[in-house]
Amino acid sequence: MPSTLEEAIALLQVLWAEVVQLRAENARLTARVQELEARLGQNSSNSSRPPSADPPHGRTSRREPPAGRRPGGQPSHPAHERPLRPSDQVDRVVEQWPETCAHCQGSLSADPALMVGEPARHQVTELPPIRAEVTEYRLHRVRCPTCGGETRACLPPEAPGGAFGPRLQATVAVFSGRCRLSRREVADVCGEMLGADVAVGSVDRLCQETGQALAEPVAELAQAVREAPVANMDETGWKQAGQRGWLWVVVTTVVTVFTIAKSRGSQVVKELLGETYAGSLGSDRWSAYSYLPVERRQVCWAHLRRDFQALVDYGGAAVFRDHYLTV
């Protein structure tokens, strides 16, 4: 115990300094805990994480408040059924007539005069047996009776110069590009489903030829994007041949253009939109879009909504922090 007033004052000063230090440390730790809890609570509704990254226990579905009714369709609720195709879009009609009366077991004939109302319609959609059609062009060579020279016939204009026709080539390109099957898988599908023997090397050649044939229309679409008054753009991770890449998309009211790039930088944006894009761009806040003037950019409302939800989930006084506003 201090024996004098001076010693007591000195002790109080030491204790007060410790209190100030502990309060500051407590405030720092409290803010740190709040920040870590906010990070732990991030999901697709308050951050840029995709819904697939949400843990199973954290996924919530929107439900209407209970209305006191039994689950399922209500008595007056219209049924949701597959709509029938119009009769002019039906390929084959099978007329089915009852043979025996369900009441007296008497015989019934297929007599239209006995019909009661319109027949019930039941449609079945099925694939026909698929087998690739092989056409052989026999180019005959004949000798001229006048001069003795020999001439071989040429292929008709509609005959492809290669071993595969345009429809098979387009199907191979869809399997490879749209369905992302490997070259060997495409060859297997063609052989097993279509009855067309296509080697792996031929699959690759057909894909290359399709890409060359589409180069001009793709360039026209890219030019339409650069001239569009309004465009929306985004990018996502993409693996190509086992390597990390990025799938970019530009959407306008008229066209949509996809491209795969190795970079996520602004150079890809400039290549797609052009160096002097004069329209308005909707996007997130990724830095690759920041070279455009602010007055010609619209930040995605879905991202803004997630940011506001993050502030609500953070709790306490609303404080903007960089990691909440970075996409």
What does the alpha-carbon distance between residue 277 and residue 289 come to, in Å, rounded to a whole number?
Answer: 12
pLDDT of residue 63: 63
Contact 309, 37 (CB under 8 A): no
Give the separation between CA 196 and CA 135, rounded to whole angstroms.
12
Looking at residue 159, its pLDDT comes to: 93
- Cβ pair 256, 299 in contact under 8 A: no
Q: Please, is 172 exposed, middle or buried when counting C-beta atoms within 10 Å of its C-beta (0-12, 13-18, 19+)? A: buried
User: Which residues have a Cβ under 8 Å from the Cβ of 28 and sit 6 or more positions away?
Assistant: none
Q: Give the domain ranges of the chain.
A: 164-221, 228-327
Nearest to 172 by CA among 191, 156, 157, 144: 191
Residue ranges in the chain whose pLDDT is less than 70: 1-3, 52, 56-65, 67-68, 72-73, 316-327
Helices in 155-265 by DSSP H: which ranges? 166-173, 183-193, 200-227
Question: What b/e readout covers 92-120, taking b as 16+ CB neighbours within 10 angstroms?
Answer: eeeeeeeeeeeeeeeeeeeeeeeeeeeee
Global confidence as pTM: 0.63
Task: Please report the pLDDT score of residue 59 as a whole number.
Answer: 55
